[in-house]
Amino acid sequence: MEKPRILIVDDESDLCHLIKTALAKEGFSEVEMAGSVQEGWEKFHSFNPNIAILDIMLPDGEGYDLCNKIREVSRIPVLFLSAKSDEIDKILGLAIGGDDYITKPFSPKEIAFRVKAQLRRAGLYTMEMSVQTNAHKAMTVGPFTMNLDETEVMKDGELLELTAKEVGLMACFMRNPNRIISKETLFERVWGEDFYGADNTLMVHIRRLREKIEEAPSKPAFITTVKGLGYRFIVK
């Protein structure tokens, strides 16, 4: 399968290069950048991208304007980047034809993950491509496999759509199978902060992770609670 072509349109050059680097680490080498609506439209025609990442606020207009132009001639996935977090802005972005809306600040790994998700839905990215890119750097524990860049987790060969924090939790569990890991340790490793007062935050993320990896989340077989101590990731 031909490598997907990705267009990034953002007037923050450093941010563009950061995203490009994150994408390159995931095997996406065909990436072009533009800093305005006009340049983005020109690159769209010359580069013929399979997916576009558009900032909302651009020097000569809005990413919405460029998306409207693209939608007149193409149905490629479009991801919006914005410092605006209001629900109305997200609704507008999706209503005019955007496929995803990402609020700044964000993790470059999150961008790469969302790009993969959109390309898979469009039939332009397969697990075979990911396996070829990361075949020499993967960790397998039980039915789970994680690439060592810690951006993807698969269960029985199927990619799990996890958030960055959920991937971080899985990394901790997979490095310590069948061992009790304290709540303090999990939080400090994944969030990089002291655990004090964060019990509810961790519990919510564990619950959401169970919903994605367990057959019966209310009776978890993998992530089990050890009362008063923490959690154990059980694999055979």
Mean pLDDT of 182-210: 87
d(CA 177, CA 32): 41
Q: How many CB atoms lie within 10 A of CB 156?
A: 8
**Given this model, what pLDDT does residue 134 score?**
47
pLDDT at 130 over 70: no
- From the list 164, 154, 155, 107, the residue with the least C-alpha distance to 134 is 154
**Given this model, what pLDDT does residue 106 score?**
78
d(CA 92, CA 95): 5
pLDDT at 32 over 90: yes
| C-alpha separations of 60 from 10, 63, 70, 178 in Å | 11, 10, 16, 56
